[in-house]
Amino acid sequence: MKTQSSAIAPTGIAVSGRPQASFGTLQAALGVIAFSLTFPATAWGLEGFGPWSLVAVRSVLAALIAGGCLLALRVPLPAREHWAGLAVVAAGVVLGFPLLTTLALETSTTAHAAVVVGLLPLTTALMSALRMGTRPSRTFWVAALAGAVAVLAFTVQQSGGALSTADLYLFAALLVCAAGYTEGGRLARVMPGWQVIGWALALCLPLTVPLAAVALSYEPVQLTFHSVAGVLWVAAGSQFLGLVVWYRGMAAVGVPKASQLQLAQPLLTLVWSVLLLGEHLTVAAPLTAAAVLVCIAVTQRARG
């Protein structure tokens, strides 16, 4: 008699392959929704904090949340062989991407900054292929490239296509974040996703605590509803909870497929920008959204 194949999730619970993949896709999608609010929340935070203060404070707050969870559950230290990977996650996701995008948002709109998110899925898939030896199908790559081109064309059209210093920050953020996502997805196969980002945040505390103290002493702070809400969201929502479900989703469905869900992130960011920041959305948005949804459907069905 044939037995149904099953897999052990990072939580230790045995689940069948198809439900695990569906739940993994859902978790990755929840992460994308959380990330889509990052740029508008950062714009809010910049209303009352300087860029260095904002990045340092968000990292410290997220580390306190993660550290409290690690201590409360008495999670043992990761194995020695995992610390190098955690350092890559910390450098790319905890420090590099937040700092570079925050510096970019000082002179760029959230619509312009969304170009980095539009290119992130393709870059993450490339990083995954180099680091983990994954080989997605040709259909997967064609759909992924088409989705990236659609998002890039939309966001560049929104920004007028002008290159600036902010673009250099954004392209650098793209590379470091893709590396962090890839390494985090690999580690999430051997430890729960929330522990991956939790330990990465804790690893940064010796840097972020003194950085926060110095930055707050030099950069003026104005506590308003927007600035406080923005910092709280990027700390708890984007930096911790969003990454928890994101890494769990990547562990379940694989880095390349999970990364393609981020094709929808720039469009979600634009919607939040209209609702929260009062930015204007052009008629090209629904057309781009339809193209992106088609690409996501193809990449999710394509077999690697």
Report residue 164 CA to chain centroid gap: 23
Map tokens 């968000």 to a residue.
58
Map tokens 């959380």 to a residue.
34
Alpha helix (H) residue ranges in the chain = 17-36, 38-45, 51-72, 83-89, 97-105, 110-132, 138-159, 165-187, 193-218, 225-232, 242-253, 255-260, 265-272, 284-301
C-alpha 169/C-alpha 54 separation (Å) is 16
Token duo for residue 113 = 């900054």
Q: What pLDDT does residue 55 have?
A: 94
pLDDT, one tens digit per residue, over 174-221 is 899 999 988 988 888 888 878 988 999 999 999 999 999 999 999 999
pTM more than 0.85: no
Residues forming beta bridges with residue 6, ordered by sequence position: 16
Token duo for residue 23 = 């739940």
Secondary structure (3-state) at 182: helix
Residues forming beta bridges with residue 15, ordered by sequence position: 7
Question: With a cut of 50, which residues of the chain have pLDDT below it?
Answer: 1-16, 304
- Give one word for 77, left, alpha or beta, with left for phi > 0 and alpha for psi -120 to 50: beta
Q: What pLDDT does residue 8 have?
A: 37
Residues forming beta bridges with residue 16, ordered by sequence position: 6
Q: What pLDDT does residue 16 have?
A: 45
C-alpha 172/C-alpha 175 separation (Å) is 5
